[in-house]
Structures are given as structure tokens and as C-alpha cells.
Amino acid sequence: MIALDEIDLKILELLSKDARKSFREIAKELELSVATVHNRVKKLMAEGVIKGFAPIIDFSKLGYDLTALILLQADGSHLVEVENEVAKLEDTCAVYDVTGEFDIAVIARFKSRDTLNRFIKSLLKIPHVKRTSTSMVLNVVKEDFRPPLSRSK
């Protein structure tokens, strides 16, 4: 874990709410110099705390109306190999190691039931996948994760 001070945390919190916020705006809000904000963000990027800046997209507006949570069982000695293969599939959004009855959790988005069907069948063709269990998302209640980073909250 990387040691961050209160200023780093406040900068991260502001950027997580609006990644388009300028260094000047952040500096003004936090009563810092623009150079300080720039250097802090540059350091956070170099340390891998900030991986990049990306828009939050409503994929349903692009035709991706189906979101699935797919659990997989895999041979333990081939777990990483299976995860890497699943991660390469076009519709995969996230791949997680999980505990419990299943070994891998996959989040994937689809434009149609047919593409979901083909996706699940392609998962079952991956060597060392034992079985899958699929749940469809009916309603998105919350999909972003931006915990409060500042210790003062």
C-alpha cells in the first residue's frame, strides 16, 4: 500500500468526482499552487495510484442492454490461465478471483441474448472450465465505486 497524505487523498477525491477538473480548479479549491497539484498528480500516476482518466459511459445507450454476472469453476492449477483467456473475450468487462463455490466472477455486457449465448458457450470451450452459472442484471441500482478518500469525512 502506498502512503498518501491528506492532500493526495483530497486531489484523488476531486478527480474521482470529475476527472476533467483542471489542475487550476483543484488548486483553487484546495488552496494550493497549480504546480503542487500537477506534481502530486504526476507522482500518483507514476506510482500507479491513478491508472488513467476515462469517461463514465452509459452502455445501455450504445445498445448494451444485457449485463451478466457469470461465475466459473475451473481446475485450480489452471486458474490464472483460464482468467487470462476470459479477460481476452470481447464482451468481458471485469474478471475477479472469488472465494466460495466458484473460482472466477465475470461481468460482461451484451447487445443481444444471442451474443450472451455465444459468450457462455465460448467460456465452456475454454480448457479447464468445469461449469458456469449466469445471472442477468435486471436493474442497476449503483454501478460506480467512489468511496470517500479524504480522512476528514
- Walking along the chain (153 residues) 10 residues at a time, the average pLDDT comes out as 90 92 96 97 95 87 95 95 96 96 97 96 96 95 73 47
Residue 12 sits in a domain whose CATH number is 1.10.10.10
| pLDDT score at 45 | 96
Host domain of residue 42: 6-46
Is there a domain that residue 153 lies in? Answer: no
Is 74 contained in some domain? yes
CATH of the domain at 132: 3.30.70.920
The pLDDT assigned to 153 comes to 41
What total of structural domains would you count in the chain? Answer: 2
- For the sheet with 104-110, list strands across it: 92-97, 104-110, 66-74, 129-136
pLDDT, residue 143, reads: 82
pTM of the model: 0.78
Distance (Å, whole) CA 143 – CA 145:
7
Query: Are 26 and 63 in the same domain?
Result: no
Same-domain check for residues 80 and 116: yes
10 Å CB burial of residue 70 (0-12, 13-18, 19+) is buried
Return the HEC string of 105-125: EEEEEECCHHHHHHHHHHHHH
Domain assignment of residue 77, yes or no: yes
Residue 142 belongs to a domain: no
Instruction: Report pLDDT for 58.
Output: 86
Q: Which residues contact 130 (CB under 8 A, 6 or more apart)?
A: 72, 73, 74, 75
| Amino acid 55: pLDDT | 84
